[in-house]
Structure 1
Amino acid sequence: MDKLIKGVLIVIGTLSMVLGFIGIFLPVLPTTPFLILASICYIRSSEKLHRWLMNHKLFGECIRNYQEKKGIPCKVKIFAIGSLWLSIGYSALFIIPVTMIKVLMFGIAAGVTIHILSFKTLE
């Protein structure tokens, strides 16, 4: 593979990983899809970075559970759904003035909640 393409994939993977990390604290950003994208970019560009990501203390288990369709731990589901609704609820009720945007935000929150709940709950 061309060195330029590998470099671009490493940059995209790293940006995705940073966004995934930010998504831990901002429920509006979906953590897992960004980490999956980082994993895909790294597996195609750098075996060392992919191995590091898959063995990472914070991210590795999340990616493996998602890829192997094992599920999501109960504590993670509760935290994700709770922080999602708190942040979107606060934003929609106190910050966003446009009613249609508020409705859209609550619709997105409902969709993300359904998506999270569709995964098997790990013990």
Structure 2
Amino acid sequence: MSKIVKFLYIIIGFIALGLGVLGIILPVLPTTPFLLLASYCFVKGSKKFEHWFKGTRLYKRHLETFVKERSMTLKQKLAILLFADVMIAIPFFILDSFIVKVLLVLIVIYKYYYFINKIKTVPEAAVTND
């Protein structure tokens, strides 16, 4: 992978990290998906940033349980699902294509199926151990 591509991954990682931190403060932004994106970008961009990010309290508090155990708190799940629903609703109401609307509804159904059946729900106390 070229240095430019790795640099872009690092830049996108820091942007996602910033949005994830904002998500902790602002209820309209979900934290976990942005931090997952940041983690992915740091893994692709630099071993140094990957190790740094995985050593932060932010990673340990919000992602470590999900990465290791494929589990989230109900609050995390709801934040992600609701944010995604809002993002999917925008093109659903703007576009006139019936096929696109059906596709978007199928995506929402699959998203809920996946979050309910494939990702375990753990109590809040299991994640917030400092």
TM-score (structure 2 length as normaliser):
0.57
- 2:69 match: 69
Aligned residue type for 1:60: K
Distance, in Å, in 2 between the alignment partners of 1:25 and 1:2 is 35
Conserved 8 A contact 1:13-1:38: yes
- 1:121 match: 122
Give, in angstroms, the shift of residue 55 of structure 1.
1.1
- 2:105 match: none
- 1:41 match: 41
Aligned residue type for 1:50: E
TM-score (structure 1 length as normaliser):
0.60
Deviating beyond 2 angstroms after TM superposition, the runs of 4 or more aligned structure 1 residues are 58-61, 68-74
Matches within 5 A, 1:13-28: 13-28=13-28
Task: Could you tell me which runs of 5 or more consecutive residues in structure 2 were left unpaired when the two chains were aligned.
Answer: 80-92, 94-110
Question: Could you give the per-residue CA deviations for residues 4-30 of structure 1, whole angstroms, max 9, x where no partner exists?
Answer: 001100000000000000000112111
Aligned residue type for 1:49: F
Aligned residue type for 1:40: Y
Conserved 8 A contact 1:32-1:63: yes
Aligned residue type for 1:37: L
Taking every aligned residue pair, what percent have the same amino acid on both sides?
A: 34
Distance, in Å, in 2 between the alignment partners of 1:39 and 1:121 is 22
Distance, in Å, in 2 between the alignment partners of 1:52 and 1:60 is 12
Distance, in Å, in 1 between the alignment partners of 2:56 and 2:44 is 18
Distance, in Å, in 2 between the alignment partners of 1:18 and 1:66 is 20
Question: What is the DSSP-based 3-state SS (H/G/I as helix, E as strand, rest coil) of the residue aligned with 2:28?
Answer: coil
Conserved 8 A contact 1:42-1:50: yes
CA RMSD of aligned residues (A): 3.2
